[in-house]
Structures are given as structure tokens and as C-alpha cells.
Structure 1
Amino acid sequence: MARADKQAAVAEIVDSFNDSAGAVLTEYRGLTVKQLQDLRRSLGENASYAVVKNTLAKIAASEAGISGVDDLLNGPTAIAFINGDVVEAAKGLRDFAKANPTLVIKGGVLDGKPLDASEIAKLADLESREVLMGKLAGAMLASLSQAVYLLNAPLAQAARLAGALQAKAEQDPSILAGGAGTPAAAEEAPAEETAPEAAAETETPADEAPAAEADAPAAEASDEGEATES
């Protein structure tokens, strides 16, 4: 490869490292051309899969500020540069490797940090970004609903209290009078208490009347006696 071609190849790999969210380094020894095509299709539009020369890839990684991947760059190497969901791409590579054991995942790069094969496997076991975002949105909506409930709870209680007072007022209108009827009732109470005394006074002459009637015959008898003596 001419020097200019090498420089262009290095620059292209550098751009791929810089523009991607992550990269997975694989060994493709034994894969057929058709299998490589199937692998590229399985990764979708958000990832590219390129066969690279190890020496050029090492230079490109160094220029991109990535360290710790030199040991991974040996044997036939192809790199999956991921522009979309890293977890989803890692799942796709893992599933393809299970179906095609000749594909070996050697490691990768995420946020400029090197990952080994076991860390790529753990990444593939995570839920996809869409699922995580859905769960996060659900949690946020649940928290918002709880907050709205807490804010509305006092208002609801006040509304229930107002409804109860209104129902009570319909049964007893004096509640709406602000207690104005209470003093009147208090003033009328003594009149009711004195009523028995008044009744007692009116009954007293009735008790004296028989005594007067009893005296009357005595007087008549006295008169009759005087008349006899005369």
C-alpha cells in the first residue's frame, strides 16, 4: 500500500473512532463473504463493519486518543463502529457470534475507554436504550402523578369538607346564621323556667277557695244560733 493510501486509511479509521459512540473489535477468521454481508445487515444503518489492518488501526487509535487496544489488534481484525445504540449493536454481535462461532469478539471501546470481551458481553446483557428510556419515562410519569396527587389532596379534602358543611346547613339553617339564633334561645330559656312559678301563683287562690267556702257555713251556723237565742 502506498504511503498516501496508508495515510488516507488511517485518517478514515481515526474519523470512525471519533464519530462513533463505541466500537467492537472482532476476529473474523473463517467467515465467508456472505456471512460478513449478513453481519453488516444485522448491525443496521447505525453501525458499520470494516476490515482493518492492525498496524494502521493501532496508529489510528493512538491519533484518536484511545489507548489499551494494541493487544486486541492481532490476527484478522474487523471493527464494528457504532453510531447508534451501543447496547443494541453489542446484542447483535453477540447473537451473531452464537450462531456463527467463527466470529470472535475480542473487546472494544466505549467513550474512549478500552473494554475486554467480558465487558462487551455484559454490555450486551443490558437493556436497550429504548427500553431504558421507556422505563425512565414511566418512572417520571409515576412520580409526577404522585406529586399531582399530593398537591390535589388538600384541595379535595377541603372540597369534601365544604360539601359536608353545605349538607349540614341544609338540614340546620341556623349554622349559616353564624350562631345568631343561640342568644335568643338562651334569653327564652328563663321564661320557660319561670313558667312553673307563675303556675304555682295562679294555683294558690284555688287552694284558698275551699277554706273560704268552709268558713261560710260556720258563719251561717253562728247566725242561726243567734236567731234561736233571740
Structure 2
Amino acid sequence: MNLLIPTYIFILGLVLGSFFNVVGLRVPMKLSVVHPPSACPHCGARLKAKQLIPVISWLVSGGKCGFCKTSISPVYPLGELATGFLFLWVYFTFGYSWETLVGLLLVSMCVIITVSDLKYMLIPDRVLLTFAPLFLLLRLLYPVDSIWDHVWGLLFGGGVLLLVVIVSKGGMGLGDVKLFALLGWVVGLPNAVVAFLMAFLAGTIIGGLLMLAGVVKRKQPIPFGPFLALGGLLAFAYGSEWIALYLS
């Protein structure tokens, strides 16, 4: 087996994962993603090139800043590793196809959204508007089946969460509605139904475990974007297979 391409894709995921962390943390605050350069969040010291190597720099430094020795959150290397492995997952799932490109873009958007929503409970329009034209073009050129499946997926994704927002009287943000509408366009119908079910199942299970552990309190809002992202990714890769299995 040729390991060159998978290795390259994994390293690409690590590098981009580091950048996605920056985007997810800065864009919601309306900051530039390129200026100022990366610095220690505690002492403000500008990081050198050797301190910007994904995962490795964090391991070598023992998870501490090289200047002030303050502990650096493991969220950064975990985000990089997650992106790398998700890139590999897409490649091994779809191989040499246009769906691989769609999948890599989908993972990229989902990682950024997850970082942003976990940190600020906000899904920035700028992120969605950056990816939307790419997904629109790719699905117009390479629909999974019929282009109308993607149109109905968009309407279902936006419509069902908008209904949830109305019924819950603001219990969910409009950012979630826009995100799921875009996910619905990407995966199409009926896969958007799978994404919806997986997102709410994951949210219920993980939310329940967090309450049992005392991490969150009852009725305390938790970010739902990561669950929508998870549901979208699962539906993108396995939705058709799961539906066929269910119907059989």
C-alpha cells in the first residue's frame, strides 16, 4: 500500500487544523486571521517557527509556553489531530473522487465551527459565507443523485431548525439554522434527516452525561453547532447506507 498520499493528507490536516484553530478563535471577535502573528495567549510573546509545528511543538514544550512557562490548553493539539484524522477518514472513505474534495471542505468548515461555537457559542456568518459558494458550485457540478435532492435538503435543514427556534422561543440560535441549511444542501435529502437525527441523538447523550457529571447545569445552554457538524459528517459518509439498511 502506498503510504505517501495518506501521509501527505494527514500532515495537511495537521497544518490546516492549526490554522482552523486560529480562524475559529479570531473570526468571531472580528480579528484578522493573519495579523498579529500567533502569540502566547498569556504573556503575549510572539511564537517562533519552531513553536508553530502542529502537535510536535506542544509535546516538546510539555504543553507549556516557552517564554512564561504557563500551561497551554491541549485543545490546540487535539484540534490539529482531529483535523488530520478526519482528513484521512474522508480520503479512505471516498478515495479519488470529487466527494473527497467536498468532504475535506466539509471537515474544514465543521472544525472551524466547532472551535468557534465551543469558545463563544457563536457560528460566524463569515465562515458560512466563505464555504457556501464552494459547496454551491460543487453540488451544482457534482450532485450525489439529483440536484433537487440537495435543494430539498437545504429547505429541510433550514426549515426544521427554524421551527425548533420558533417552538423553543430562542432556545437555539439562527446560526444553527444557517449551518444546518448549508449542511442539508451538501448531503441532500433524505440524508439531511439522518444528520438531524444523529445531531439530536448526540446532543441528548452528551448533554445528559455532562449534566450527570456536573459539568453543566439543568437548562444551561450548550453549543449545538458541534453536534450539527457531527451529524452532517456522519450523514455525508454513511447516510445512504444507513437508510438502505433501515429500509431493508
* Bin for the TM-score computed over the shorter chain: under 0.3
TM-score (norm 1): 0.22
TM-score (norm 2): 0.21
